[in-house]
Structure 1
């Protein structure tokens, strides 16, 4: 089978790219990412895992909003140096798939709650416009657009973001599913991801015939093709991280090191936690282990925070992972603290490590994270789980073949 030429936008560390690469169905022409740690991580992965000798050039370190320069190249930029544009990598090749999802913070419900303007003025609301400009230039047959559930309710300008996206794609000749909440909002625990993570997966098809019912094809994709990839059970925290070596606290911290941290496993070291926080983590995890559930309610957790810190808050700060359930969502916020991702073993008295977060996001252990701890947590939290990406990448060729078969049967091109 011919591999599909794809471009990845907002690539991050490459969760979506990695899943697609695992299938063997894709030929990555180029990827675009503007944060340097993510670029380095993706390049290392493509080189070490997939033997891609062109990875360092085809992963473009640049701002996707500067689309004209992105197409033709840039020179002497203070942030991005010199770079060849996408046109150089595409040349005369057909682009089959463009994939990616703009940064999600402006669409997330939590982000809108924290921001006094409800994120209405956040530039990230409009990054989809750059995505569509690139779609317009290269005209792929299929697009894949991933984002958080909050995108379904984001209204920064008085109009739903999803309506703006739909209308913009229609103008470029693409069709997306008519009811995104019904069809495109997916629970990734159903696909083997050991983490409560709902994501909107928007697949678009370029309309090359007047007589084809593209909504029917899209419904086949969402109702039949993709569901075939669902797992037979839900995977848990225990499935994901129980076999990793435990990391216990030191009796006395040495400067900013408070844990043994001698596993030798990439990313499996604990961040620093004070004695006070260690005591809180122990109490919370032991409460669950003993079956007492004293801290089950938000009110009890808020009161505990006040007792331990002397500070008042309206939102509880703590959450202990449950061994026999999927974890709560792994967010980019983990770069700031791990209070809502406390390890379930009370003896370890810590939050989860980079490697544990990566496991819960279904990154393979040979996917290395060698940047700062904060950058590692951020790129893991923002990623598409590679396991889900692989399953998606396995059905994309089937969708493409089905679409082209139906179009050939109709034989009337768009005038």
Structure 2
């Protein structure tokens, strides 16, 4: 069976391409990522799960902003040696698809609120230009561009970033939806991911392949083809993590040696809690028990803000705590989890903790055989930044349907 060939940009640890590879319809030509733990994780996954013996060469550890070297190769003290992307694409006799999404911090609404300039001066606003350069160079049939919903309202330098993206891709021969606000926002919970995670999926098609039918191809992707792969059930946090081994807190300060605050046996990879102080553990237990008992005193932001001020001794403009609801999809897993897990408190009051990396991975729909490499902080960050593989699987199935149709009509 012929497989469609892709390049994955801003690949992270590979959540997006893992879902595509699970379909059985695709072959990875190359992936580009600049953070080392993510690169090592993706290489390991391609070798151990997908049997890519040449994963070290396929996964390019490099800065996409250095375009000339990215294409032609480099010899660099930080990023090592590579023949570059041109070599890999030529070796594979071209590609069918480019996927990926630039870092989303510059587009996120929360990021714009926190930044005094609303992220208008953030260089990441324009990383899509490097994505476009790769698309323009290799002319794939289709592309998938993933990002946060905030991209739809981002206006660096008072210009709509989404309008700029539409115009630039159009200039280079690609059509995307004219109404992404209506069609482009996809909730991963609709596709079997136990998490309410809304993301903008920009699907683009090369206009010369479809002619006047290009608009119909784009519209069908959102209205007919992708929705075919929705799941009948919405999965909950308990569905995702309820069968994992229980992790019990250590309350006696005398036994909290070597910064160990819980008793656990890591029988499942990365089911390992972070260290918490007794104060924080008491807060987590209080908040989880409040929901378990049905009192629900602390489910409102105002009460949580008061609690934070009382327990921590400082005021915060936003509430700092959230208990995951066991009978609902989880809240959006964020990369910020590597700094602060207080918005991801386990629903079981007896455990008095925030979620482990493996629990975060399950809520992101990663399989347990997906091995993350790096420090605990690295792992939380790469999980939070990833595209959920189950959502990626659905997108991969939909894209395959369209590529099959294009191929059949062109033959």
Shorter-normalised TM range: over 0.9
Residue in structure 2 matched with residue 300 of structure 1 by the alignment: 303
Contact (CA 8 Å) 1:143, 1:204: kept in 2 or not? Answer: yes
2:378 aligned with 1:339 = no
Residue in structure 2 matched with residue 38 of structure 1 by the alignment: 38
The 5-angstrom pairing of residues 8-407 of structure 1 reads 8-75=8-75, 77-91=76-90, 93-208=93-208, 211-250=211-250, 251-252=252-253, 253-404=256-407
> How far did residue 95 of structure 1 move?
1.0
TM-score calculated relative to the size of structure 2: 0.97
Secondary structure of residue in 2 paired with 1:394: helix
> How far did residue 212 of structure 1 move?
1.9
TM-score calculated relative to the size of structure 1: 0.96
Structure 1: any 5+ residue segments left out of the alignment?
409-415
CA distance in 2, matches of 1:164, 1:20: 28
> How far did residue 216 of structure 1 move?
1.3
- After superposition, the C-alpha distances for 1:10-46 in whole angstroms (9 at most, x for unaligned) are 0000001111111111111100000000000000001
Secondary structure of residue in 2 paired with 1:157: helix
* Count of residues in correspondence between the two structures: 407
Contact (CA 8 Å) 1:208, 1:407: kept in 2 or not? Answer: no
- Range 151-160 or range 86-95, more displaced: 86-95
Structure 2: any 5+ residue segments left out of the alignment?
none
Query: For the structure 1 residues 325 and 85, does the alpha-carbon distance in structure 2 shift closer, same or farther, using more than 3 Å as the test?
Result: same
Contact (CA 8 Å) 2:40, 2:373: kept in 1 or not? Answer: no
CA distance in 1, matches of 2:154, 2:264: 42
> How far did residue 405 of structure 1 move?
5.1
Contact (CA 8 Å) 2:194, 2:363: kept in 1 or not? Answer: yes
Contact (CA 8 Å) 2:95, 2:140: kept in 1 or not? Answer: yes
> How far did residue 240 of structure 1 move?
0.2
> How far did residue 79 of structure 1 move?
1.7
Secondary structure of residue in 1 paired with 2:134: helix
> How far did residue 387 of structure 1 move?
0.7
CA distance in 2, matches of 1:289, 1:137: 56
